[in-house]
Amino acid sequence: MKELNINLSNLDEVFPENFTEEQIAKAKTLFLKRMAEKAHKFYGGKIQVVPKAGVFGFNWFNIWYTPGVSKVSTTIRDNNDTSFELSNRGNLVAVVSDSTRVLGDGDVTPPGGLGVMEGKAFLMKYLGGVDAVALCIDSKNEKGENDPEKIIEFVKMLQPSFGAINLEDISQPNCYKVLDTLKEECKIPVWHDDAQGTACVTLAGLVNALKLANKNIGDVRIVFMGAGASNTTIARIIITAGGDPNKIVLFDSKGSLHKGRDDIKADPRFYRKRELCETTNPNRISDIAEACKGADVLIALSKPGPDTVKPEWIRAMADKSIVFTCANPIPEIYPYAAKEAGAFIVATGRGDFPNQVNNSLGFPGILKGALMVRARKVTDNMAIAAAYSLANYAEKRGINPNNIVPTMDEAGVFAVEAADVAMQAIKEGVARIEMSWDEAFQQAKKDIEYSRSLTNSLMENDYIKTPPHEMLREAINWAIKQV
């Protein structure tokens, strides 16, 4: 068996030669989970706080703290907007979650979300040059129910310390009320990454997949499996971008969405689903296998697989079908199986398969763009601008059925995305300050390069230590034994 290198680039090659594709896929998932647990324990998490100002002698303590800092406090008191310049607020995001809908694991208790929220903070810093803090909160009220009002009040109280809020892993229907209320009532942008972020990157992938399939967004039939925060927002964003709601069918755990779904109409908390009931699936198709017959696109964000999406559904789809199966941690059907069933393009939410359609491509650049112009909110059109920014960036460097969107290691994409989002914020009148596209691009590029150089310098100087190879070997051997 080959030795796994430290950058994990040869991961597919280290499993036994007699492993099938399904066994390799299972083993990779098990390895990544095992390695994640070991690596997080090795480092004690993945985020730390370090100064960005220097100490050049004893009296610098008196500048960074008392008595000198009093002038900073009174300046901000007299003009609160100066807090964006005199503190880190202008480049600081709170990642807020009650951990009730984490990946495919559901409610993991408030502390259980820290691994994901620290991950968001890690990616924001390295990919977007943005500082972020993970804040996992207990949203339960005295009845033991997760209360959206508690999240709303918490975020409102946070506003003076942050430039933007990233909501994450809040279960539906609470997520709808939390986002829509805070978007309107907060003075800083509040963004729900599971909804708007996933929708942005999914649209980017769909735009380029349709180009390769030579199909138009307004002509294609789209089936959505799952009608949670992600897929309902994806549907809304696709419709805003030109998709035909009459050619769209969504399915939740109880069946398809349509005007006859009285159970959804009866619960005012599900108003986003109710809107889609009114506008999509006019023929009231009730069976997902029937809906997939002749469909051009299947977008699944539902129950982790690999047997959630059936191969026969894909075989019944139109020529050059597009299949996005993005449940985490295991897609609803493995890409190789979807391809065997006839899919032309397959995407998942995972980086170890081709075509990772994951919000990690969106939020670092989108939030950087919003912060640079001190946007008051992140609009749907800003998310759409980011989607086309990602799609255009990929198209310029070349796309094919196994490469429809940029990847996280294409550093240049995030500065371009940030600049495009900043321009859209200015265009819509939600920016507090204005700048040119080039000014935004250069600022984002500089901050991203700084963040990457800082991390690389810490690694080179052994302040961030390299995990021992024994850790990788143990995780690989454990995964192989489990399969």
Which residues does the annotation mark as catalytic?
65, 120
Residue 106's φ and ψ, nearest 5 degrees, are 75, -140
Please list the residues that pair with 95 across neighbouring strands.
134, 166
Separation CA 305–CA 328 (nearest Å):
9
From first CA to last CA, the distance across the chain in angstroms is 16
Distances (CA, A) of 85 to 82, 303, 338, 405, 451: 5, 44, 51, 35, 19
Helix (H) / strand (E) element for 325: namely strand 322-325
3 state SS of 413: helix
Directed axis angle between helix 229-240 and helix 271-279, to 10°? 40
Contact predicate 281/249, CB 8 Å: yes
Separation CA 3–CA 409 (nearest Å):
23
| DSSP for 203-266, written as a single string | HHHHHHHHHHHT--TTT--EEEE--SHHHHHHHHHHHHTT--GGGEEEEETTEE-STT-HHHHT
Residue 94's φ and ψ, nearest 5 degrees, are -95, 125
Please list the residues that pair with 256 across neighbouring strands.
251
Distances (CA, A) of 444 to 61, 365, 411: 30, 8, 11
Distances (CA, A) of 305 to 144, 230, 347: 31, 17, 14
